[in-house]
Structure 1
Amino acid sequence: MYMKYLLLLGSALAVSTPALAEEVGDPIVVTATRTEMRLSQIGQPVSVVTRADIERTQAVQAVDVLARLPGVSISSAGGFGHPTSVFIRGAENAQSLVLIDGVRINDPGDVGGGFDFGGLTIGQFDRVEVVHGSSGVLWGSRAIGGVINFITARPTEQWTARAQAEYGWRDRRHAGASASGMLGPVGLTLGGNWLKGDGLSAFSERRGAAEKDGFESRSANARAEIELAPGFSADAGGYYTKADYEYDDTGADALHVGEKRDTLGYANLRYSGFDDELSARIGYGITDTRRVSDHAIFGPYITNGRNERFEGQVSFAPVEMVSVLLGAETEKSTFSDNFGSRDSTSIDSYFGNLTFSPFAGLTLGGGLRYDDHADFGDRTTFAANGAWAFGGEGAPVLRASYGEGFKAPSLYQLYTNGVLSPLDPETSKAWDVGVEQPFAEGKGRFTLTWFDRKTRNLIDYDFANWNYYNVGRTRAKGIEVAMVVNDWEGFDLSLSYTYLDAKNVLTGTRLARRPENNLFVGLDKTWDMGLHVGADLRVGGGRYDDHANTQFVEGHVVVGLRASYPVTDNVEVYGRVENAFDEHYEVVRTYGTPGRSAYAGLRVKI
């Protein structure tokens, strides 16, 4: 199989192919430090996906872009809409915090309090920032593995708009539009997205399934901001998505239907003054979710979850080399289902972070967080990191970070267990160290990172006793390799490779659904006339589907081809072939994956 990987890798590099290209240079990111900071000053690895990346790769689902990043693997039990998990460095899906415009969208009604990516499309977002590794001090519970922030466009003085429509395999139709600009003193961003298709069978068609499982998704987003007075501003926004889908039993076709609905809203008051040395924000956010699994025989199971959060933070830079961030948060979560269960909990948090730059090129950071959980008491966690860009422009950047994490059991897990099997909170300690080397006159970047995370009391499900339990100790360590080149003599290159050793320390077994090796390679070429052609290669290593390591799922190799051409300055046509060699594979045992499929579309920009 590895000879096959190498041959396909060579083929992909030998032809003109498109790729996801993270922002190269020294971009400003927000998610890693909760304030604007240059990437070269941040001690943790951060991946940035831009609007240009999303359009170049013709991505439709959020996982389409996340799967291309180092340290990230995807596990999906079927096609669009079906349960889909994202593992960052082997951490559980519920151990990574998911944000939209900085507002938490993890679902308290979810089994682990995580976020199901199965129904999330990418068209309404302008940018994605992914922080690799523990971010618990700044972002709190659920950020043991990392943070994923989906960001919508910010309005500018001049109105801009874009729209697209595409059609393809199994009658899949996709349309979306967005616009942003100023309406008098108010900046506005509006967007919407629709996706519908016949889909594939959730139970693998290659195992004999004959019934397709269709889906439909609708989403909308809005944002408004206004300057109230010099230095004072306000902004508010919301996001809504609803996905309907059909699903099967584990080993047979079935006529089950499901629904997922996510709604969030937020509002902020902001202040910036003293020559931008002082900034402050007070905010409110609410996330409301609804999940329906309507079994054709036993009827529906419905869960509702809600998070309400008040938060405030102040950032102050008394001198050029020092910045202090202080913040406080209070969050209340509620959960209910249609069988009469109802529960709630809350957590109050306080955090502080100090950033210190003793001389040019060196940035050091350290922080503390105090959490007071209504059910599990108080915890204090610590984090430290540093970035050293030595030697001036074009020189390497060394990075290192350490972070601790704390995550209480979800309301669903507590309700399911009742008083029969008490659960303890999950805790973690994580390290990473890496080097980044710019090349190709600043248009390229190569990074190599080693990481190691130890987790205590990981919560897992015991199928024999029908309850959740604490595993004890797990460890995830490995290496991330990434190389990105943007617009070098018409070429763009993206490569990411992850080696992951994720195990239960007590038993020695590998954690379920985490591939040991994961590779993505892409290369694209754009000619002066505007024609863009390319392909990408995705290699997913084998993985165990269960924690006992008795059911092994073989690895896979998938190749995609695509092209686009600008008909005018504002209109572009595009098309792609996914899984070009019709690879037969599974990611979750017995669940289907798409075969060879083709799509064509039109994109308009104003």
Structure 2
Amino acid sequence: MKKYLFLLGSTLVAATPAMAAEANDTIVVTATREPTPVTQIGQSVSVVTRDEIERSQATTATDVLARIPGLATAQSGGFGQPSSVFIRGADNAQSLVLIDGVRINDPGDVGGGFNFGSLTIAQFDRVEVVRGSSGVIWGSRAMGGVINFITARPTEQWHARAQAEYGWRDRRQASLSAAGKLGPVGLTLGGNWMKGDGYSAFDEALGGTEKDGFESKSANARAEVELTQGLSVDAGGYWTKANYDYDNTGADALNVGLKRDALGYANLRYKGLDGRLNARVGYGLTDTRRVSDDAVWGPYETNGRVERFEGQASFAPIEMVSVLVGAETEKQKFDDNYGSKDSTSIDSVYGNLTLRPLAGLTLNGGLRYDDNSDFGDRTTFAANGAWVIGSGDDAPVLRASYGEGFKAPSLYQLYTNAGFRALDPETSKGWDVGIEQPFAEGTGRFTVTYFDRKTKNLIDYDFASWNYYNIGRTRAQGVELGMQVVNWNGFDVNLAYTYLDATDETTGAQLARRPKNNFYASIDKAWEVGLKLGADLRVGGGRYDDMANFNRLEGFTVVGLRGAFTVTDNIEVYGRVENLFDKHYEVVRTYGTPGRSAYAGVRVKM
């Protein structure tokens, strides 16, 4: 613990002269489902922009998420392998994942969550993360938080970007995105391809020799048009398919896998009364397919499908008051090639009241009623507030929130292999309080937040009985520290530190794969001649790989270097070295992580 505190303090001292970040008037949509200034949001929110994605040279979603306070990742091998993201210690399946505001969680996944293992980042323009329960606004699966991947929106003038990259073990990547208007229709189009030899999913330090390669393809599209003044329609979709090799837990194997995700959506929107009334009706469809083809036992296939109809309206009768109401109906279907087949549905209504009684003070309170076809009804409550203390660009923001969550067992947990299991729904109650201090005339921020969440009936797997069961009570509490610097005299600095105590309150054991300490720091410098240089440091604390706490994985420290050079106004070349000192470590027992690797590429913007 002293080592992590020393690293944290050293980085803070080194970065203090350069405290800058996004301005306080940043608009986010994920926390409230409506465009809202971040200073009016009582929950903890992080925003990652396209500039930050390119500066860090991230290629996958987990590359980006691992840099955010409160988040930890665990992947069982290389690209395509199962990958989880834990928000404040919440299970991967307890966090809602969105693409352009549409749910991408998979009913064919073990817990109904989302497997991040093959999600690339090139097509996305922005990532918003809300930490803490968002169940009232977003419903089931948002107990831990919400992650929203957002593509570019069309503008009057067309703009496009392309990228190509090559590196370690013959990894090749190419992407293209464009957005603009074609007559009255706004269009966004994008695509990404990545292929490589990979490395052994079974840890090469333990004897893994067979490389587990992969190939990923993805595409996205969106169209929007204004029908009449205030009335518009938009529709779009996202599709990705990944083929990959994988190993068994303790040996090389010639197993192959496939993961295919597709979503589509359509919305009819109305905006009137000088912007005081906003309404939307929408439809969303998510369709998934997974194949795990074991070289000995043959393929296991799962298919999941979710259909949603939803309506939402917000109205601000006066400047100090706004009301948001909505209703949703969702149907899930699941089947596999072993005969499991079932469906479930959930109907919901929700409402949120926002008050601004004083200058700088915003209060939110909401209720949600869910009626699950298998587990009955449940009402949840949430409240949060944000207070800008004083005026001016350097005024601190005090935030506090409380939220309840409800999540029914997934169809996979209920019906696969052994038939129906008598599982109870997971429920949670959590709160947090934090303060944000702006710096550098309001363009920077430093945040510190304390959080505490208690969960009942967390669902886990018992390897002794080969079955799922409910854990009585768990608790996750801790502290998040964050700081960002963007273009202060050419410097960019990012710092994220999390202390997490996530335990099974019945046994006292630590929850599996949640590190107690997680630290990330980066610094970049740009010169007027077009040269950019940067470095990052990741320190992952020790963690247990199992709920019984028999198998402990030691912590690790990984360093990376990167550089870029602007050749023309539209062309930039770049390169990086990851895991500079070729550190060996594991985040999932017996599964490998990449050694020293180098990549180089070119970006073109138009």
- The alignment's TM-score, normalised by the length of structure 1, stands at 0.97
- Count of aligned pairs between the two proteins: 603
Q: For the residues of structure 2 that align with 1:65 and 1:512, how far apart are their CA atoms?
A: 22
For residues 173 and 391 of structure 1, do their structure 2 counterparts lie closer, same or farther at Cα, with a shift above 3 Å needed? same
2:8–2:497 CA contact under 8 A, matched in 1? no
1:416–1:467 CA contact under 8 A, matched in 2? no
Q: For the residues of structure 2 that align with 1:420 and 1:345, how far apart are their CA atoms?
A: 13
C-alpha displacement of 1:12: 11
Query: What residue is the counterpart of 1:551 in the other structure?
Result: 551
C-alpha displacement of 1:416: 3.0
Superposed, 1:264-303 pairs within 5 Å as 264-303=263-302
1:207 aligned partner, one-letter code: L
Query: What residue is the counterpart of 2:389 in the other structure?
Result: 390
For residues 480 and 10 of structure 1, do their structure 2 counterparts lie closer, same or farther at Cα, with a shift above 3 Å needed? closer
State, as a whole percentage, how many aligned pairs show the same letter. Answer: 73
1:197 aligned partner, one-letter code: G
C-alpha displacement of 1:443: 2.3
2:93–2:112 CA contact under 8 A, matched in 1? yes
C-alpha displacement of 1:418: 5.4
SS in 2 for 1:54: helix
For residues 88 and 589 of structure 1, do their structure 2 counterparts lie closer, same or farther at Cα, with a shift above 3 Å needed? same
2:22–2:443 CA contact under 8 A, matched in 1? no
C-alpha displacement of 1:6: 4.7
4+ long deviations beyond 6 Å: 11-15
Query: What residue is the counterpart of 2:85 in the other structure?
Result: 86
1:178 aligned partner, one-letter code: S
C-alpha displacement of 1:486: 1.3
Query: What residue is the counterpart of 2:48 in the other structure?
Result: 49
Gaps of 5+ in 1: none
Query: What residue is the counterpart of 1:204 in the other structure?
Result: 203
For residues 121 and 6 of structure 1, do their structure 2 counterparts lie closer, same or farther at Cα, with a shift above 3 Å needed? same
Q: For the residues of structure 2 that align with 1:423 and 1:581, how far apart are their CA atoms?
A: 46
1:479–1:500 CA contact under 8 A, matched in 2? yes
Query: What residue is the counterpart of 1:110 in the other structure?
Result: 109
Query: What residue is the counterpart of 1:445 in the other structure?
Result: 445
SS in 2 for 1:63: helix
Q: For the residues of structure 2 that align with 1:225 and 1:317, how far apart are their CA atoms?
A: 25
Q: For the residues of structure 2 that align with 1:22 and 1:224, how far apart are their CA atoms?
A: 32
Q: For the residues of structure 1 that align with 2:283 and 2:311, how far apart are their CA atoms?
A: 9
2:525 aligned partner, one-letter code: K
Query: What residue is the counterpart of 2:592 in the other structure?
Result: 592
Q: For the residues of structure 1 that align with 2:331 and 2:291, how far apart are their CA atoms?
A: 23
Query: What residue is the counterpart of 1:159 in the other structure?
Result: 158
Report the RMSD for the aligned CA atoms in angstroms: 1.7
Q: For the residues of structure 1 that align with 2:461 and 2:573, how far apart are their CA atoms?
A: 47
2:471 aligned partner, one-letter code: V
SS in 2 for 1:472: strand
1:80-130 deviations in Å (ceiling 9; x for gaps): 000000000000000000000000000000000000000000000000000
Superposed, 1:81-230 pairs within 5 Å as 81-230=80-229
For residues 346 and 420 of structure 1, do their structure 2 counterparts lie closer, same or farther at Cα, with a shift above 3 Å needed? closer
C-alpha displacement of 1:13: 8.3
Superposed, 1:198-597 pairs within 5 Å as 198-393=197-392, 394-416=394-416, 421-597=421-597
Moved more, 414-423 or 351-360: 414-423
Q: For the residues of structure 1 that align with 2:12 and 2:429, how far apart are their CA atoms?
A: 38
Q: For the residues of structure 1 that align with 2:262 and 2:560, how far apart are their CA atoms?
A: 33
SS in 1 for 2:202: coil
- The alignment's TM-score, normalised by the length of structure 2, stands at 0.97
For residues 231 and 495 of structure 1, do their structure 2 counterparts lie closer, same or farther at Cα, with a shift above 3 Å needed? same
Q: For the residues of structure 1 that align with 2:538 and 2:568, how far apart are their CA atoms?
A: 32
2:22–2:444 CA contact under 8 A, matched in 1? no
For residues 478 and 10 of structure 1, do their structure 2 counterparts lie closer, same or farther at Cα, with a shift above 3 Å needed? closer
2:88 aligned partner, one-letter code: R
1:286 aligned partner, one-letter code: L
SS in 2 for 1:574: strand
1:221 aligned partner, one-letter code: N
Q: For the residues of structure 1 that align with 2:346 and 2:235, how far apart are their CA atoms?
A: 24
1:333-353 deviations in Å (ceiling 9; x for gaps): 000011121100000000000
SS in 1 for 2:342: strand
Q: For the residues of structure 1 that align with 2:148 and 2:419, how far apart are their CA atoms?
A: 36
1:505 aligned partner, one-letter code: E
1:443–1:487 CA contact under 8 A, matched in 2? no
